[in-house]
Amino acid sequence: MRTASGLDGAFLSLETRDMPMHVGSLHLFETPSGYRKDFTTQVRRMIAGRLHLAPIFTRRMVAAPLNFANPVWIETEADLDFHVQRVDLPTPGTIAQLQDCVAGLHARLLDRDRPLWMLYVIEGLADGAKAYYVKIHHALLDGQAGAALAAALFDLSPKPAPIKPRAANPAEEEPGALSLIANAVRHDAAQYLKLARSLPDAARTLHGLVFGKDEKPAGAGTGSLRENIALGPRTPLNVTITGERSFAGLTLPLAEIKAIAHACDATINDVALTLCSGMLRRWLTRHGGLPKKPLMASMPISLREKGDTEMTTQATLSLVNLATNIADPLKRMAALHAASGATKSVAGKAKSIIPTDFPTIGGPWLIRAAVALYGRSNIASLAPPLANVVISNVPGPPMPLYAAGLKMSDYWPLSIVTHGVGLNITMMSYNGTLGVGFTAARSAVEDASELVADFNSAFAQLKKALAERNAVAAPEKRRSRRTA
Domain presence at residue 407: no
Residues 337 and 476 in one domain: yes
For residue 385, the domain's CATH number is 3.30.559
Q: How many domains does the chain have?
A: 2
Domain boundary among the residues 159, 182, 205 is at 182
Going by C-alpha positions, the residue among 296, 298, 187 that lies closest to residue 233 is 296
Residues 291 and 162 in one domain: no
Domain presence at residue 191: no
Residues 149 and 268 in one domain: no
What is the extent of the structural domain holding 94? Answer: 2-182
How many CB atoms lie under 10 A from the CB of residue 90?
9
Residues 83 and 8 in one domain: yes
Domain presence at residue 62: yes
Domain boundary among the residues 161, 182, 203 is at 182
> What is the pLDDT at residue 484?
57
Domain presence at residue 199: no
Q: Answer for the pair 427, 394: CB distance below 8 angstroms, yes or no.
A: yes
Domain boundary among the residues 138, 157, 182 is at 182
3-state secondary structure the chain: CEECCHHHHHHHHHCCCCCCCEEEEEEEECCCCCCCCCHHHHHHHHHHCCHHHCHHHHEEEECCHHHCCCCEEEECCCCHHHHEEEEECCCCCCHHHHHHHHHHHHCCCCCCCCCCEEEEEEECCCCCCEEEEEEEECCCCCHHHHHHHHHHHCECCCCCCCCCCCCCCCCCCCCCHHHHHHHHHHHHHHHHHHHHHHHHHHHHHHHHHHHCCCCCCCCCCCCCCCCCCCCCCCCCCCCCCCCCEEEEEEEEEHHHHHHHHHHCCCCHHHHHHHHHHHHHHHHHHHCCCCCCCCCEEEEEEECCCCCCCCCCCCEEEEEEECCCCCCCHHHHHHHHHHHHHHHHHHHHHHHHHCCCCCCCCCHHHHHHHHHHHHHHHCHHHCCCCCCCEEEEEECCCCCCCEECCEEEEEEEEECCCECCECEEEEEEEECCEEEEEEEEECCCCCCCHHHHHHHHHHHHHHHHHHHHHHHHHHHHHHHHHHHC
Residue 121 identity (one-letter amino acid): V
Distance of alpha carbon 25 from alpha carbon 136, whole angstroms:
9
Residues 150 and 225 in one domain: no
Residues 221 and 175 in one domain: no
Residues 452 and 318 in one domain: yes
Task: List, in order, residues 6 or more apart from 89 with CB less than 8 Å away.
Answer: 97, 98, 101, 122, 123, 124, 125
Rounded to 5 degrees, φ, ψ at 64 are -70, 155
Task: List, in order, residues 6 or more apart from 171 with CB less than 8 Å away.
Answer: 74, 75, 76, 77
Residues 324 and 457 in one domain: yes
Estimate the crossing angle of helix 177-211 against helix 329-350, to 10 degrees: 120
> What is the pLDDT at residue 355?
61
> What is the pLDDT at residue 267?
94
> What is the pLDDT at residue 128?
94
Query: Residue 187 CA to chain centroid, in angstroms?
Result: 28
Residues 231 and 307 in one domain: yes
Domain presence at residue 343: yes
> What is the pLDDT at residue 394?
87
Domain presence at residue 192: no
> What is the pLDDT at residue 363?
86
Q: Is the pTM of this model over 0.85?
A: yes
Q: Answer for the pair 224, 420: CB distance below 8 angstroms, yes or no.
A: no
Residues 173 and 249 in one domain: no
Domain presence at residue 125: yes
For residue 65, the domain's CATH number is 3.30.559.10
Domain presence at residue 190: no
Residues 172 and 236 in one domain: no
Q: What is the pLDDT along the chain (484 residues), one digit of tens a residue?
A: 788 888 888 899 999 999 999 999 999 999 999 899 999 999 999 999 888 888 889 999 999 998 889 999 999 999 999 999 999 999 999 999 999 999 999 999 999 999 999 999 999 999 999 999 999 999 987 545 565 678 789 999 998 877 777 666 778 888 988 898 888 888 888 877 777 776 676 566 555 555 555 444 444 444 444 545 678 999 999 999 999 999 999 999 999 999 999 999 999 999 999 999 999 999 999 999 999 999 999 988 766 566 555 555 555 678 899 999 999 999 999 999 988 766 665 555 555 555 666 678 888 889 999 999 989 899 988 888 999 999 999 888 999 999 999 999 999 999 999 999 999 999 999 999 999 999 999 999 999 999 999 999 999 999 999 999 998 876 766 566 666 5
Residues 99 and 51 in one domain: yes
